[in-house]
Structure 1
Amino acid sequence: MGATIHDVAARAGVSVATASRSLSGKRGVRPENHERVLAAARELNYEPNAVAAALRSRTTHTIGMVVPRISNPFFATMVEAIEQQLQEGQRSLLLGTSHYDPDVELRQIQALLDRRVDALITIPCHRERSASATQLASTRVPTVQLDLRLEGNVSGWVGVDNDAGIVQVIEHVLAGGARSLAFVGASPSDSSSQERLDSYRRAATRLDGPHGPVLLGDFTIEWGQEAATRLLDGDDLPDAIVCGNDTIALGVLRALTRRGVRVPDDVQVTGFDDIAYAELAEPPLTTIRQPQRHMAAEVVRMLTDQLSGATESTRRVAVVPELIVRASTASE
């Protein structure tokens, strides 16, 4: 059995309270007593009981996070960015995945709350059905929605300005000579898919030519391939295909390449997110970069402020994304 705080106190010749204050870094311990306690802890190989400490301080120094799908490269790198930010503040991350199922999402949030996380970061998998899970979280601990969001002031939110991103890519392909467009996105079950679809429809009205077609599926390479095949089998291939995210765009590029279509000479292709694979595509993909490090810093800052009571729990921050021009679009 390992050494206890009582053993450390006895070896150092101080009270248990003094040993506890010394090891937790609290003030009020004389320097000579502090040194004796540290020496005793080293000699006894004392390991503090993190659970007991958490119960005493009512903090676990852990943040919970629930994402829709960790296999999505955007979410994977977002988790990494959040974890790096938390480590700088001496906090740990506990992760759950909803698999785009609001019922699973609710169970994952409840499990994290049962583990007494200090706060929660949620990426709501459904713009309506995720409300109960997010509301549960926000009534128990400081909660911030990241990337995806719910309607109403359920909790704070940090994400990208989807409208600004879609406008940038449409203006870019029009400047590159496009006169007809198609949009390949995801069915609008979450806020990003809905906002990018709405933004495309508004921005495409500046075209003299046709605004469509609009093809909706999910955020996967397989759907991108299927959608591109439908466009190839149609009457006319558009001058540019605007995709709802990079994984869809990668599938579109694959299908076009297999059919001998030249990108960007025959058709321009754009993505959204700037995942790592976008630059490695053939040709490299023009896309909208979401500044993940900046977003992660904003989320952690918002949670830290909420934990200290220094800010409102429903503040919203929309970050302007950046157009990254690569070889899948024509030069302006």
Structure 2
Amino acid sequence: MSTEVGNVAREDTQRRTAARSPDGPAKVTITEIAREAGVSVPTVSRVVNGRSDVAPATRARVEELLRLHGYRRRSPSPGDRAALLDLVFNDLDSPWAVEIIRGVEEVAHEAGVGTVVSAIHDRAGAARQWMTNLRSRASDGVILVTSVLEPGLHDELRRLGVPLVVVDSAGSPASEEPTVGATNWAGGMAATEHLLGLGHRRIGFVQGPSRLLCSRARLDGYRAALDVAGVAVDDSLIVPGDFYHASGFTGCNRLLDLDRPPTAVFAASDQMALGAIEALRRRGLRVPEDMSVVGFDDLPEVRWSAPPLTTVRQPLSDMGKLAARMLLDLARAVEPASPRVELATELVVRASTAAPRAS
């Protein structure tokens, strides 16, 4: 910023500051500072909290505005808390959504904070209607789970000073948004390595929605495990899915119709794995005697499936808890220790996997 432009900006800020508070220094918020600096609220918070991950020019601009406004960081008091959090899903038809809600609710309850759960369903206008409702209830923060908001809605959240935390990013996460996820690549690799270790070489994969980073990471883990084992990736063994039962059923049938069907199936969600087991049952095939099946999630129901499902556990409830804690911090202008967090996955071996049947 040139000296002339900087002086004009400084004089304009001083005029507006005086106009807002004729009797003394204005009580400015970091939202106002962010608006004047042309940056996000989290960026201003990073500067206020002395974080190093801010570009020098941006830091200088924000610090100058902080000085001009006489901003002083307010020490949080015991009663200083957010009052309402928004938890937004693309839909609520999956048991894993319940697990995330459980984690968020536990933290919110302990903090005395209310939770509003919404589903936007990728319907035209649904996200905008949600934004209208959010404005009316003055939410203190949003947790967005495997969903996509239009860029304009992201901008609107910033203008309103509403912090955002993303769980399982859909598409590339914006650089300013804290995210919570699981080690999906490592989980995909562990599941595939387990089947390879049992002796399987033709392993089918039913993938999740390609728009989701977690889906792509699980597929990449599957490919990586095959590559390390020296097994060529056969693209005919990779079939589309959407994380729900029906696509697992359809995908498994597609694999079974191949001239050389796989001896094992890795489904990128537990629900698809259960759909695959049903497809096998209807064809008179047994799990794991005729085909091994692995899922991903470790939903509570899969330990009671027939047979109990081998799967990759992702800590869904813990992901919800962590997202809620990060959001409560952001609502108090306290930056999370790390803007990108991945919780560890774990392979859980049960009775749905075994060595391939001798041919």
TM-score range, shorter chain: 0.7 to 0.9
The residue that corresponds to 1:157 in the other structure is 179
Q: In structure 1, what is the Cα distance between the partners aligned to 2:195 and 2:152?
A: 40
The residue that corresponds to 1:273 in the other structure is 297
Q: Is the CA contact (8 Å cut-off) linking 2:169 and 2:212 kept in structure 1? A: yes
- Alignment TM-score, normalising by the size of structure 1: 0.75
Question: What do residues 95-147 of structure 1 show as CA deviations (whole Å, max 9, x unaligned)?
Answer: 11011447423432442233101111111424xx6544344334431110012
Pairing partner for 1:136 from 156, 163, 167: 156
**Structure 1 295/168 Cα, relative in aligned 2: closer, same or farther at 3 Å?**
same
The residue that corresponds to 1:26 in the other structure is none
* Superposed displacement of residue 289, structure 1: 1.0
Q: In structure 1, what is the Cα distance between the partners aligned to 2:259 and 2:252?
A: 13
**Structure 1 150/109 Cα, relative in aligned 2: closer, same or farther at 3 Å?**
farther
- Alignment TM-score, normalising by the size of structure 2: 0.70
| More deviation, 95-104/155-164 | 95-104
Aligned residue runs from structure 1 range 1-332, under 5 A = 61-101=83-123, 103-126=125-148, 130-139=150-159, 140-151=161-172, 152-212=174-234, 213-311=237-335, 315-330=339-354
Segments of 5+ residues of structure 1 without an aligned counterpart are 1-56
Q: In structure 1, what is the Cα distance between the partners aligned to 2:217 and 2:110?
A: 33
Segments of 5+ residues of structure 2 without an aligned counterpart are 1-78
The residue that corresponds to 2:33 in the other structure is none
The residue that corresponds to 1:11 in the other structure is none
Q: Which amino acid aligns with 1:234?
A: L
The count of corresponding residues between Structure 1 and Structure 2 is 274
Q: Is the CA contact (8 Å cut-off) linking 1:59 and 1:118 kept in structure 2? A: no
Question: What do residues 193-250 of structure 1 show as CA deviations (whole Å, max 9, x unaligned)?
Answer: 2222233223322344452311013121111111111111211221221111111111
Q: In structure 2, what is the Cα distance between the partners aligned to 1:186 and 1:64?
A: 26
Q: Is the CA contact (8 Å cut-off) linking 1:124 and 1:134 kept in structure 2? A: no
Q: Is the CA contact (8 Å cut-off) linking 1:65 and 1:122 kept in structure 2? A: yes
- What is the aligned-residue identity percentage? 31
Q: CA RMSD in A?
A: 2.5
Q: For 2:296, what is the secondary structure of its paired residue?
A: coil
Q: For 2:217, what is the secondary structure of its paired residue?
A: helix
Q: Is the CA contact (8 Å cut-off) linking 1:167 and 1:203 kept in structure 2? A: yes
Q: In structure 2, what is the Cα distance between the partners aligned to 1:135 and 1:285?
A: 43
Q: In structure 2, what is the Cα distance between the partners aligned to 1:304 and 1:144?
A: 10
Q: In structure 2, what is the Cα distance between the partners aligned to 1:166 and 1:110?
A: 39
* Bigger relative CO (Cα 8 Å, ≥ 6 apart): 2
* Superposed displacement of residue 257, structure 1: 1.3
